[in-house]
Amino acid sequence: GGIITQTPKFLIGQEGQKLTLKCQQNFNHDTMYWYRQDSGKGLRLIYYSITENDLQKGDLSEGYDASREKKSSFSLTVTSAQKNEMAVFLCASRRDWGEDEQYFGPGTRLTVL
């Protein structure tokens, strides 16, 4: 078995601040994802990466940067935090190309003051 770890669990920042969320997986999966989950809504894809140093934009990439420097880790940066992007950010990984099962971390809840 494996696990996805997201840090921090809760992130509080000021409006306009640059904030970084981290995700680690020990599944040895190639593909990793960052989603944003707004309250009462579905998940929207921000970025994904199919291998180390690869980055692919999702539908919600504006205002975010991502980094995949190692196979096991995938970071997301909120470039200038806004109050309307308070949400839970979920990291996920997937074993193989074409595989539908994604494994999710517990999430980071972002609060912007």
Q: Which residues of this protein are in contact with another protein, per CB under 8 A?
A: 4, 31, 40-45, 48, 50, 56, 58, 90, 92, 97-98, 100-107
CB atoms within 10 A of CB 4: 21
In this structure, the strands spanning 19-25 and 73-78 are antiparallel
If the CB atoms of residues 23 and 78 are measured against another protein, the closer one turns out to be: 23
Minimum gap (Å) between residue 42 Cβ and another protein: 4
If the CB atoms of residues 8 and 106 are measured against another protein, the closer one turns out to be: 106
In this structure, the strands spanning 31-37 and 43-49 are antiparallel
